[in-house]
Amino acid sequence: MRGFTALAERLPPAEVAQRLNRFYMLASEAIFKYDGTLDKLVGDQVMAFFGAPLHAKDHPRRAVRVALRILGGMNRLDGEHLHLGAGIASGPAFVGNVGGGPVTDYTVLGDTVNVAARLQGAAASGELLVTEATYRHVESEFHNAPIRDLELKGKSESVRARVIRMDGIAHG
């Protein structure tokens, strides 16, 4: 969510919570519709992954569908328009429980997850940034998506991303 801190500064806390709850509801419904796993709600972000524990060969395509559904859905849900950006990376990751004792968390870890998080942070409002590995799965639907080479925090080399914008995209 873009500009969330400024929004929280000018609105009463209860209204901020209402907007977050609308965002969380929209996001979780979209994630579950496409058989994704909701990993966590982190302030003004939602983290999900696809391909585990349910594996579908088209999981990158499903992730893109979810991101576009969330980006477009918030435009319709919120009269003041909450500005969102999204990032998706496809690749190997650790999937399983981390932690120990009474506190464990079923999650995903690894470079792919870190790249997705950094892409999300780099995406402008209304943008979905996807890695080339993800783009290969949706290229037929988003021909010639612009390329953006990004220097991402913590990465030793730049990451090439494709930019899918909400402008003019029909989503369902």
The tens-digit pLDDT sequence of the chain (172 residues) is 888 888 899 999 999 898 889 899 999 999 999 999 999 998 889 999 999 888 888 999 999 999 999 998 876 655 556 789 999 999 999 999 999 999 999 999 999 999 999 999 999 999 999 999 999 999 999 999 999 999 999 999 999 999 998 764 544 4
Which helix H or strand E contains 166, and what residues bound it?
none
- Asked whether the bond before 53 is cis by omega within 30 degrees of 0, the reply is yes
Q: Which domain holds residue 102?
A: 4-165
Is the pTM higher than 0.85? yes
Tell me how far apart the alpha carbons of residues 105 and 39 are, in angstroms, rounded to a whole number: 9
Answer whether residue 41 is part of any domain.
yes
Tell me how far apart the alpha carbons of residues 86 and 169 are, in angstroms, rounded to a whole number: 15
Domain CATH for 125: 3.30.70.1230
Tell me how far apart the alpha carbons of residues 134 and 60 are, in angstroms, rounded to a whole number: 6
Answer whether residue 110 is part of any domain.
yes
Q: From 59, 48, 60, select the one nearest 130 (Cα to Cα).
A: 60
Answer whether residue 172 is part of any domain.
no
Answer whether residue 171 is part of any domain.
no
- 56: three-class secondary structure by DSSP: coil
Maximum Cα–Cα distance across the chain: 49
Tell me how far apart the alpha carbons of residues 28 and 23 are, in angstroms, rounded to a whole number: 9
Answer whether residue 10 is part of any domain.
yes
Answer whether residue 103 is part of any domain.
yes
Answer whether residue 50 is part of any domain.
yes
Count of domains for the chain:
1
How open is the CA angle 159-26-3, to the nearest 5 degrees?
55
Answer whether residue 170 is part of any domain.
no
Per the listing, tokens 């999937």 go with 95
Residue-level length of the chain: 172
